[in-house]
Amino acid sequence: MLRALRDPRAVHNSRLKARQALLRESIQVLRSRHRAEPRGPGPRHQQPQQLLLPPGLLGGGRAPQPQHRAEFFLGGALEVICQAWLRDLLLARRAPAWLRRRYTQLRYEDLVREPRAQLRRLLRFAGLPVPPALETFVLNMTRGAAYSSDRPFLISARDAREAIHAWRERLSRQQVRQVEDACGEAMSLLAY
């Protein structure tokens, strides 16, 4: 099993840029958390999570204003995603050795920094050869001449090295802090 991961701050930045396109997906992610929560009486073992909210989103516990609704759902969805990552990471660490040998993870940032080495590692894990054409393709997709930060989900040849740090210029300090608070455990396990 391969688990691909990315810095949650970069994920949040990309999701904010594509907020309208991801609104329906974010609502579905939040609904999945609601369905997974225990029902009925009984103690809850976890504190309720705070949704990632842009500054000034809610006023006095009111529902989000229409212009901020997408950010509200995007932030909540990112928390659910980080919780799922954390569960998977902890499960993989606690798994028996025979199962750990069948699991690997790939950080997007590692693929961008070392595309050939990471491609070889993944194909070796899968027991597959490394075709030269695939190496060329991976280099082209991560080291292309262009970069389009305005279209984060565009599949094209571009310089992805710029994408791994774009969140530093786009997110406010408060947004970064909120992501780090919501995703801190998973980020720590992933060395972000």
CA–CA distance, 75 with 186 (Å, rounded to integer)? 16
pLDDT tens for each residue of 23-69: 666 667 777 765 555 544 443 444 444 445 444 443 444 555 555 66
Tell me phi and psi for residue 104, to 5 degrees: -145, 160
Would you mind telling me the total number of residues written for the chain in this entry?
Answer: 192
Q: How far is residue 16's CA from residue 131's CA, in Å, rounded to a whole number?
A: 36
pLDDT of residue 118 exceeding 70, the answer is: yes
Residue 192 near residue 185 (C-beta atoms within 8 A): no
Report the sign of the C-alpha dihedral through residues 159, 109, 166, 33, in that order.
Answer: positive
Cα separation of 1 and 192, whole Å?
A: 22
Across 65-75, average pLDDT: 65
pTM over 0.75: no
Instruction: Give mean pLDDT, residues 172-185.
Output: 92
125 exposure class (CB count in 10 Å sphere: 0-12, 13-18, 19+)? middle
Question: What burial class does residue 163 get, using C-beta atoms within 10 Å of its C-beta: 0-12 exposed, 13-18 middle, 19+ buried?
Answer: buried
Assigned token pair, 141: 């997709």
Phi, psi for residue 54 in degrees, rounded to 5: -70, 155
